Chain A
Amino acid sequence: GAGVSQSPSNKVTEKGKDVELRCDPISGHTALYWYRQSLGQGLEFLIYFQGNSAPDKSGLPSDRFSAERTGGSVSTLTIQRTQQEDSAVYLCASSARGGLGYGYTFGSGTRLTVV
């Protein structure tokens, strides 16, 4: 596609429920990233996929968070047993060549609210 597409754009869920967030990267981009941004804060790195390599999961805050990338394209971030502190905007980004020289292209994000 022309840009990075994320869905849903907004999600309100009850505490304890599981949620899935989807990211559709730019076609041909081999690298895909998930970041989290709390209100008025910076971007917190969560996970990074590069081609067929094992993902870098070093930023996942707990074992309630997981992500997969199927067929080297679409990615799903899953949060199990959501907590109120999980409320944030979840941003997905993709890049060619790992972003070197070109930077990341971000999607518009999914705003997650846990009530």
Chain B
Amino acid sequence: GQQVMQIPQYQHVQEGEDFTTYCNSSTTLSNIQWYKQRPGGHPVFLIQLVKSGEVKKQKRLTFQFGEAKKNSSLHITATQTTDVGTYFCAPESGTYKYIFGTGTRLKVLA
């Protein structure tokens, strides 16, 4: 079955440093979504990537989908304390069903 790994599991950065989380799949993905979960909160949808090699930006966040559609990444430029939380990738696994990755927990030190 489909296996999705996210690395790193944890990341502590100083405010202003960049951060990247990677999502790797053992199979080719049709599309992938990214979510953010603040401490004590629930996951919130950020973006969906569909095309091979796709790159999308949201302010300081850059999302990429690999050329082979087996991996994806989220990069945050110049982190802020508001970026704290856990970032999940969620590839589609079956029609309209998304399986969440293990998540990367980000802590930003002021």
Contact = CB atoms under 8 A, between A and B. Distances in A.
A28 interface: no
Interface residues of A, number: 24
Given A42-B88, A42-B103, A99 B42 contact: no
A62 to B, nearest CB: 19
Given A91-B42, A105-B45, A109-B42, A45 B97 contact: yes
A109 B94 CA distance: 24
Contacts of B96: 31, 48, 50, 95, 97-100
Interface in B22-43: 31, 33, 35, 41-43
Given A42-B88, A43-B43, A109-B42, A103 B97 contact: no
> Chain B interface mostly helix, strand, loop or mixed?
loop
A50 B96 CA distance: 9
Given A99-B33, A101-B48, A107 B97 contact: no
Contacts of B45: 102-105
A99 B45 CA distance: 10
A103 B48 contact: yes
Interface in A41-79: 42-43, 45, 48, 50, 56
Nearest to B103: A42
5 contacts: A43-B100, A50-B96, A99-B98, A100-B31, A109-B42
Interface of B: 31, 33, 35, 41-46, 48, 88, 94-103
